[in-house]
């Protein structure tokens, strides 16, 4: 079990139609304040992985775009919209409506 494995386990539990922030994942993974690690971890994830990486966005509610992603950032938006997540005209998600709330019994399923 590596640190990144923990992060992937959390991400795998995000339900369709909802999104989580990097910071949120970090805290659930017992890595408070280390949101970057979550980003670093997701960077390693293959786009065709079984991990719903597209449900993770930054605290601003926007998709973190980067040249290093070679378009997977645009794909992320497409996948989210396919699940019913709407973006406003500035490309931001209304986190208040779609933000995932981790179930209290999450730990029992680990």
Q: How far apart are CA 13 and CA 19, in angstroms?
A: 11
Shortest approach of DNA to residue 86 CB, angstroms?
A: 16
CA distance 76 to 93: 12
Tell me whether residue 9 or residue 73 sits nearer to DNA (CB atom): 73
Interacting residues toward DNA by CB under 7 A: 2-5, 21-23, 33-40, 42-45, 47, 53, 56, 58-60, 64, 66-69, 72-73, 76, 90
Give the residue among 107, 105, 87 at the shortest CA–CA distance from 97. Answer: 87
Residue nearer to DNA on the CB measure, 90 or 108: 90
The tokens for 27 are 């805290």
Q: How far is the CB of 15 from DNA (least distance, A)?
A: 18
The DSSP letter of residue 87 is B
Least spacing, CB of residue 51 vs DNA, in Å? 8
């Amino acid at each position: 079990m590596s640190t990144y494995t923990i992060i992937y386990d959390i991400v795998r539990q995000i339900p369709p139609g909802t999104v989580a922030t990097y910071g949120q994942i970090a805290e659930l993974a017992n890595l408070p304040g280390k949101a970057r690690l979550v980003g670093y971890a997701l960077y390693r994830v293959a786009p065709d992985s079984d991990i719903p990486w597209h449900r993770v966005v930054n605290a601003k509610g926007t998709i973190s775009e980067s040249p290093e992603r070679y378009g997977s950032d645009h794909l992320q938006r497409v996948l989210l919209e396919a699940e019913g997540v709407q973006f406003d005209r500035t490309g931001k998600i209304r986190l208040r409506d779609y933000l995932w709330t981790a179930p209290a019994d999450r730990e029992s399923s680990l």
